[in-house]
């Protein structure tokens, strides 16, 4: 009897050993049936979806041996051939059922579940925590409701959660912030309330909770992302750098209750405590009113004093008035520059929503010292990227016009803030206020003149600039179609649809052309349209790097053509710019390609190293197809030839970002542009043949 039992036991041990040794052990028929039933429930009980995708219990999901596997699943054939990813996105109303976690978790190897842009309803079941291997949950653009189950925090390997554009409500589970590997959390456009968990945003690649009913403090390190990651929300949201400071805790005895007014009353002294709290709030309100009234009176006194001084000066001498308020304009035709100098004090007449002034401006105004000049770059025939209205407005622009005009904050970055300014006449301009750039005034002036003289249809030219000891401003035409970052990662309400493969490839090619042109045109090698004297200056100064190339600095013109903004504004001063900055530009362009291909945003602060590491790890595990953005594949790039070209573009990106020891030197921007445009031309030929 023992001998009879020994045979099947030995066979079982051999089978298990084979699985661990790397021999394929396909999912059992029971697991396959569970996955088919899972799909059926997603489809609301319809069996046709399973037939259309080839999900059959008699067919191995991963295929093999000449047998076609199931569609919309991914496997790791090099090990055990089990299903690792289920990607059922963009099915629309065909998937209008619910998630059955019990059926899904029968496949214990599942890591990725992507169900984006369908019509799924119900909620996320608590039992999904049984799928212990899950790393990615992508459910955006459905009709899910209810609250997120706290059991999500039991998925210890979870890296990405995307529940945006649904009808979820309730509080975001606080224990999600304790997951060590979570680097992507998108929950915008829902109905969540309560406070944001204390996520460690320093390690996140992408994070947004906008368009909810959240309140309370935002997490630390929020400056890595824009205010669009948190706003709009409930009125009680607080915390820098995007909102007012949060109120201090009322007492040290209750450190865990930062918002006591929101806590329910209990106990025999609750009414007395409520009355005491109400009296305290009334006293604070009165104190604030008195404080603000004092500010108003102080402002009125200052205004009256300034008006008195102005009237006194008028009475003394009309000539003196002309000397102080009139602008002296000198035109330098040889350098094609128009310089406008003004000494007008603009403090009293400045709009409440105008461009904020620095301490340097205030001191200069108080001492009646002449301010630095606003240098307007005169262009002989505007570039195609700049409208005549913006160029005309810039020619008549004065420094005080910028300070007086209504301004709207567009965003903050590592090197300063950007504003939309509407100047007299109605022209909309974008003003970049630069900070923390170690470049002296003379170098900054020379750099802006050189960048302004080198024209390319993919580089947004500066219209004017201002340079003083502690203040640097650069003026551009405002581009109303927004940035590449907004188009890739913005809200669903965007007027533009998702970017498909041809559009992304075209953007990559044009940006590469613009960068390659600027890297060579400013070397003084004859590639630019400068005069001979300008070429000698360029040769002496060396090339200029961009210094801050990223998706938010790639803007779209009125014709939706990409253009590079802020060229050279934050580049290093020579001699660093001759080598280090150019290599940094190549790496930054590689990160831009990764962002285009993966659809994943790079942090607002940082070099995107985490995204590069993630792509490298996925490629190493032979999951290259999992790198690409689902919207990219669904938008017409899912055929085999297009995917091959995506892989080639991915290889170009990795060559640009690879800085490992012993790796080959990175290519130049001219070489990168040649590689990208070769892929683009091949894609165009393929499209022409199909048409």
**Residue 139 backbone dihedrals phi, psi, to 5 degrees:** -125, 30
Please answer whether residues 459 and 517 qualify as being in contact, where contact means their C-beta atoms are separated by less than 8 angstroms: yes
CATH number of the domain that 387 lies in?
A: 3.30.200.20
Q: Do the bridges between strand 428-434 and strand 145-146 make them parallel or antiparallel, or are there none, so unpaired? A: unpaired
CA dihedral of residues 91, 92, 95, 101 (deg, nearest 10): 80
pLDDT > 70? residue 505: yes
> Does one domain contain both 496 and 463?
no
> Does one domain contain both 549 and 419?
no
> Does one domain contain both 457 and 556?
no
* Portion of the chain with pLDDT greater than 90, in percent: 30
Q: Which of 556, 564, 606 is nearest to 207 (CA)?
A: 606
Distance in Å from the first CA to the final CA of the chain? 72
Q: Provide the 8-state DSSP code for 67.
A: B
- pLDDT, one tens digit per residue, over 126-161 is 999 999 999 999 999 999 999 999 999 999 999 999
Supply the pLDDT for residue 594. Answer: 93
> Does one domain contain both 537 and 472?
no
What long-range pairs does 418-424 form, CB within 8 A, spacing at least 24? 419/355, 420/478, 421/354, 421/355, 423/393, 423/397
CA angle 55, 61, 63 (to 5 degrees): 115
Q: Please state whether 313 falls in left (phi above 0), alpha (psi between -120 and 50) or beta.
A: alpha
Residue 307 forms part of a structural domain:
no
> Does one domain contain both 140 and 191?
yes
Supply the pLDDT for residue 368. Answer: 34
Residue 246 forms part of a structural domain:
no
The residue among 238, 267, 283 that closes a domain is 238
Domain extent for 52: 23-238
pLDDT > 60? residue 348: no
Please answer whether residues 82 and 75 qualify as being in contact, where contact means their C-beta atoms are separated by less than 8 angstroms: yes
Identify the three-state secondary structure at position 523. Answer: coil
> Does one domain contain both 188 and 49?
yes
Supply the pLDDT for residue 278. Answer: 56
pLDDT > 60? residue 329: no
CA distance 406 to 353: 5
Interval 523-552 mean pLDDT = 58
pLDDT > 70? residue 577: no
Which stretch of DSSP H or E encloses residue 191? strand 191-193
Identify the three-state secondary structure at position 365. Answer: helix
For the ranges 92-96, 267-271, 383-387, the maximum mean pLDDT occurs at 92-96
Residue 611 forms part of a structural domain:
yes
- E strand segments, 73-187: 73-75, 83-87, 112-114, 136-138, 145-146, 160-162, 167-171, 184-186
- pLDDT, one tens digit per residue, over 411-435 is 877 788 888 988 887 788 899 988 7
What long-range pairs does 342-348 form, CB within 8 A, spacing at least 24? 342/371, 342/374, 342/398, 342/399, 342/400, 343/368, 343/369, 343/370, 343/371, 344/400, 345/306, 346/400, 346/403, 346/404, 347/306, 348/303, 348/306, 348/307
Interval 587-591 mean pLDDT = 93
Comparing 666 with 525, the larger pLDDT belongs to: 666
Please answer whether residues 447 and 544 qualify as being in contact, where contact means their C-beta atoms are separated by less than 8 angstroms: yes
Q: How far is CA 236 from CA 9, 218, 439, 498, in A?
A: 65, 11, 41, 33
> Does one domain contain both 334 and 205?
no
> Does one domain contain both 624 and 533?
yes
Supply the pLDDT for residue 280. Answer: 56
CATH number of the domain that 571 lies in?
A: 1.10.510.10
CA distance 629 to 31: 28
Lowest mean pLDDT among 96-105, 403-412, 567-576, 639-648: 567-576
Supply the pLDDT for residue 334. Answer: 29
Please answer whether residues 473 and 397 qualify as being in contact, where contact means their C-beta atoms are separated by less than 8 angstroms: no
CATH number of the domain that 191 lies in?
A: 3.80.10.10
Supply the pLDDT for residue 452. Answer: 85
**Residues belonging to the chain:** 691
Supply the pLDDT for residue 237. Answer: 84
Q: How far is CA 244 from CA 216, 238, 348, 603, in A?
A: 11, 5, 26, 23
Supply the pLDDT for residue 471. Answer: 74
Average pLDDT of the chain is 76
> Does one domain contain both 496 and 406?
no
Comparing 517 with 388, the larger pLDDT belongs to: 517
Is the pTM value of this prediction over 0.85?
A: no
| Domain count along the chain | 3
pLDDT > 90? residue 110: yes
Supply the pLDDT for residue 249. Answer: 54
> Does one domain contain both 488 and 354?
no
pLDDT > 90? residue 490: no
pLDDT > 90? residue 98: yes
Q: Which of 69, 196, 184 is nearest to 610 (CA)?
A: 184
Residue 1 forms part of a structural domain:
no
Residue 6 forms part of a structural domain:
no
pLDDT > 70? residue 574: no
Supply the pLDDT for residue 355. Answer: 60
- E strand segments, 229-383: 237-238, 328-332, 337-341, 374-377
The residue among 449, 478, 507 that closes a domain is 478
Interval 589-593 mean pLDDT = 94
Q: How far is CA 360 from CA 308, 340, 436, in A?
A: 24, 19, 15
> Does one domain contain both 430 and 499?
no
pLDDT > 60? residue 199: yes
Instruction: Output the DSSP codes for 198-229.
Output: ---GGG-SEEE--SS--BEEPPTTGGGS-GGG
Residue 291 forms part of a structural domain:
no
Instruction: Give every CB contact of residue 385 below 8 A, 6+ residues apart in sequence.
Output: 457, 458, 459, 460, 461, 477, 557, 561, 563
Q: Which residues pair with 136 in a beta bridge?
A: 112, 160
Comparing 314 with 686, the larger pLDDT belongs to: 686
Q: Please state whether 155 falls in left (phi above 0), alpha (psi between -120 and 50) or beta.
A: beta
Please answer whether residues 484 and 561 qualify as being in contact, where contact means their C-beta atoms are separated by less than 8 angstroms: no
Supply the pLDDT for residue 643. Answer: 85
Q: How far is CA 525 from CA 338, 518, 528, 535, in A?
A: 27, 11, 8, 7
CA distance 672 to 519: 12
The sign of the dihedral angle between the CA atoms of 608, 610, 615, 620 is positive
CA distance 128 to 431: 49
Lowest mean pLDDT among 259-263, 269-273, 458-462, 618-622: 259-263
Residue 107 forms part of a structural domain:
yes
Residue 176 forms part of a structural domain:
yes
Comparing 290 with 229, the larger pLDDT belongs to: 229
pLDDT > 60? residue 612: yes
Give the chain's largest Cα–Cα span. 123
Q: Which of 149, 567, 557 is nearest to 390 (CA)?
A: 557
User: In the structure, what pLDDT confidence band is assigned to residue 690 with cuts at 50, 70 and 90?
Assistant: low
pLDDT > 50? residue 11: no
> Does one domain contain both 568 and 645?
yes
Instruction: Output the DSSP codes for 637-688.
Output: I-SHHHHHHHHHHHHHHHHHH---TTPPPPPPHHHHHHHHHHHHHHHHHHHH
CA distance 288 to 612: 50
Instruction: Output the DSSP codes for 286-300.
Output: HHHHHHHHHHHHHHH
Supply the pLDDT for residue 275. Answer: 52
* Portion of the chain with pLDDT greater than 70, in percent: 70
The residue among 425, 446, 478 that closes a domain is 478
pLDDT > 60? residue 638: no
Q: Which of 393, 460, 379 is nearest to 421 (CA)?
A: 393
């Amino acid at each position: 009897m023992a001998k009879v039992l020994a045979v099947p036991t030995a066979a079982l041990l051999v089978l298990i050993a084979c699985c661990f040794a790397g021999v394929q052990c396909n999912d059992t028929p029971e697991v396959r049936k569970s996955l088919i039933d899972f799909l059926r429930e997603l489809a609301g009980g319809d069996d046709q979806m399973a037939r259309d995708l080839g999900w059959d219990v008699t067919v191995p999901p991963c295929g093999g041996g000449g047998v076609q596997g199931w569609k919309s699943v991914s496997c790791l054939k090099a090990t055990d051939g089990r299903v690792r990813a289920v990607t059922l996105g963009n099915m629309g109303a065909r998937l209008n059922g619910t998630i059955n976690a019990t059926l899904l978790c029968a496949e214990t190897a599942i890591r990725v579940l992507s169900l984006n842009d369908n019509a799924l309803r119900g909620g996320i079941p608590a039992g999904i925590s049984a799928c212990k291997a899950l790393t990615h949950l992508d459910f955006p653009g459905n009709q899910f409701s209810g609250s997120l189950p706290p059991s999500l925090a039991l998925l210890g390997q979870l890296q990405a959660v995307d529940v945006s554009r649904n009808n979820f409500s309730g509080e975001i589970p606080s224990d999600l912030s304790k997951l060590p590997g979570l680097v992507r959390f998108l929950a915008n456009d829902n109905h969540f309330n309560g406070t944001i968990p204390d996520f460690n945003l320093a390690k996140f690649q992408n994070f947004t909770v906008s368009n909810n009913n959240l309140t309370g403090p935002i997490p630390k390190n929020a400056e890595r992302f824009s205010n669009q990651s948190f706003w709009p929300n409930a009125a009680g949201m607080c915390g820098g750098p995007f909102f007012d400071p949060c109120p201090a805790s009322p007492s040290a005895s209750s450190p865990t209750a930062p918002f006591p007014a929101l806590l329910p009353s209990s106990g025999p002294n609750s009414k007395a405590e409520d009355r005491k709290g109400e009296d305290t709030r009334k006293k604070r309100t009165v104190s604030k009113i008195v404080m603000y009234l004092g500010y108003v009176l102080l402002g009125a006194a200052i205004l009256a004093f300034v008006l008195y001084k102005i009237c006194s000066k008028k009475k003394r001498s009309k000539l003196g008035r002309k000397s102080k308020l009139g602008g002296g304009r000198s035109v330098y035709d040889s350098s094609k520059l128009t310089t406008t100098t003004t000494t007008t004090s603009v403090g009293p007449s400045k709009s409440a929503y105008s461009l904020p002034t620095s301490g340097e401006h205030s001191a200069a105004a108080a001492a009646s010292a002449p301010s630095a000049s606003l240098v307007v770059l005169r262009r002989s025939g505007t570039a195609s990227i700049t409208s005549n209205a913006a160029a005309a407005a810039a020619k008549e622009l004065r420094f005080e016009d910028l300070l007086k005009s209504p301004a709207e904050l567009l965003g903050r970055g590592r090197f300063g803030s950007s504003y939309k300014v509407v100047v007299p006449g109605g022209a909309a301009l974008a003003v970049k206020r630069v900070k923390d750039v170690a470049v002296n005034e003379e170098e900054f002036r020379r750099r802006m003149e050189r960048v302004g003289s080198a024209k390319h249809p993919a580089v947004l030219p500066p219209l004017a600039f201002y340079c003083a000891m502690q203040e640097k401003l650069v003026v551009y035409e405002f581009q109303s179609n927004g940035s590449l970052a907004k188009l890739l990662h913005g809200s669903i309400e965007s007027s533009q649809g998702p970017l498909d493969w041809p559009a992304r490839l075209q953007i990559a090619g044009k940006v590469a052309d613009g960068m390659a042109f600027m890297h060579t045109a400013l070397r003084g090698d004859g590639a630019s349209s400068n005069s001979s004297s300008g070429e000698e200056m360029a040769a002496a100064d060396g090339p200029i790097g961009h210094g801050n190339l990223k998706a938010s600095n790639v803007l779209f013109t009125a014709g939706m053509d990409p253009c590079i903004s802020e060229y050279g504004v934050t580049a290093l001063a020579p001699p660093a710019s001759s080598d280090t900055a150019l290599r940094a530009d190549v790496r930054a362009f590689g990160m831009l390609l990764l962002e285009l291909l993966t659809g994943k945003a790079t942090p607002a602060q940082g070099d995107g190293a985490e995204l590069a590491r993630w792509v490298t790890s996925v490629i190493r595990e032979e999951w290259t197809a999992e790198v690409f953005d689902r919207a990219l594949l669904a938008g017409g790039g899912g055929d085999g030839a297009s995917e091959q070209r995506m892989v080639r573009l991915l290889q170009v990106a990795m060559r640009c970002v690879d800085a490992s020891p012993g790796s080959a030197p990175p290519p130049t921007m001219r070489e990168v542009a040649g590689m990208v445009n070769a892929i683009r031309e091949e894609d165009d030929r393929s499209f022409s043949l199909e048409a």
